[in-house]
Each structure stands twice: as C-alpha cells, then as structure tokens.
Amino acid sequence: MLRITIPAVEQWDKIKQEFVSTKEQTLSLEHSLVSLSKWESKWCKAFLTKNEKSSEETLDYIKFMTLTQNVDPEVYNYLTNRNLIEINEYIEAPMTATYFSDEKISKTNRELITAEIIYYSMIALNIPFECQKWHLNRLLALIKVCNIKNQPPKKRGKKEIMSRNNALNAARRKQLNTKG
C-alpha cells in the first residue's frame, strides 16, 4: 500500500472570484486487480499496455486505487508532480523478491492481458480471490511462478544426456580410483 500526502493549497477561483483553500489530505492507494478491473470497466480497454494514458484516464486510475473513504473528488486536482512520480514508481515496483530470466518470451507475454485474463488465471491455478487485493505486480509474479511450476519437466536433448552421463561416470571413476 502507498500513502501519499496531498499538500494544503490556496488558489484563486476565477469563477467565484475568491481564494479557495484545501486542507492537507493523506490518501492510501493500492495498485491491485480490483482497481485495474474498475478502470477497465469504465474505459472498456486494457490498462496493461504500453499505450499512453490521458490525464483523465490516469486520474481515474488513481481514484480507483484509493482505499481512503469519503475523499472529496476535488482533492485529486491538487496532486503534485512529486505525488504522481511516487504513484508511478509504486505501480512499476515489482513488490516481490522473485525474478525471471528473460531467455524465452512465451506466448502469454504477447497476449493482451486484461482483468478477466488475470481472474481466469487465478481460477485455473486455484489462487484465492483474496489475492486480488495484492499489489498487481506481485499477483502477476505469483501467476507466472504457478505456470512455471505446473509445466512438465523439460526433456533433455541427447547431447545434454550424454554429457551429464559422461560427467557422472568420470566422477565415479575418480571416486573409486578405477579406469572404467
């Protein structure tokens, strides 16, 4: 969970012709499958793409990430650049110690990932629905680990088997002081 503080602001309201001041507000945010699902429901497009999001789309996602109750919608208009940087860093953080080698790009990496695809993976892999509230990158890492662990063992090639057997035989010959 990320906590950000939106500072108190005093600005001139051109319409009302008066100064308007806001109080400092602390928000709790969670980048999760729940917030992703809400955003995709509103915008009817995939969130997890490399496409740029408009200011309105970005602001909506921040609103959907918000766990703090009864937040005045005007507060989001006073997010600072530092707040936005913190939010982006939080969204991009891996939130896990697990890392994956990028030796092969699997078919699923090229697939457009939506909330429904993630929910399907959770169901197929028996991942409990409580995990939908986890940081999204952590949940995606868990899904990837489950997929890797559920794959059948990779078959070895003839050269690899022969090389392994030769190494084992050499080790045994050395251990037993024999020539064959």
What is Dmax (Cα atoms) for the chain? 98
Whether residue 64 is predicted with pLDDT greater than 80 in this model: the reply is yes
Whether residue 50 is predicted with pLDDT greater than 80 in this model: the reply is yes
| C-alpha closest to that of 4 among 73, 93, 89 | 89
pLDDT at residue number 18: 86
CB-based contact 86:4 (threshold 8 Å): yes
Sign of the torsion angle spanned by Cα atoms 101, 104, 108, 113 = positive
pLDDT in tens, 6-38: 999 888 878 888 888 888 999 999 999 999 999
Query: Total domain count for the chain?
Result: 1
Between 102 and 53, residue with greater pLDDT? 53
pLDDT at residue number 152: 87
Report d(CA 91, CA 36) in Å as an integer. Answer: 11
CB-based contact 9:22 (threshold 8 Å): yes
Instruction: Supply the range of the domain harboring residue 23.
Output: 1-180
CB-based contact 63:163 (threshold 8 Å): no
Whether residue 103 is predicted with pLDDT greater than 70 in this model: the reply is no
Whether residue 105 is predicted with pLDDT greater than 60 in this model: the reply is no
Residue 177 φ/ψ, nearest 5 degrees: 55, 50
| C-alpha closest to that of 95 among 143, 137, 58 | 137
pLDDT at residue number 102: 66
pLDDT in tens, 120-177: 999 999 999 999 999 999 999 999 999 998 988 878 888 888 898 999 898 888 888 8
Strands 9-13 vs 18-22: parallel, antiparallel or unpaired? antiparallel
Give mean pLDDT, residues 62-89: 94
Report d(CA 39, CA 47) in Å as an integer. Answer: 8
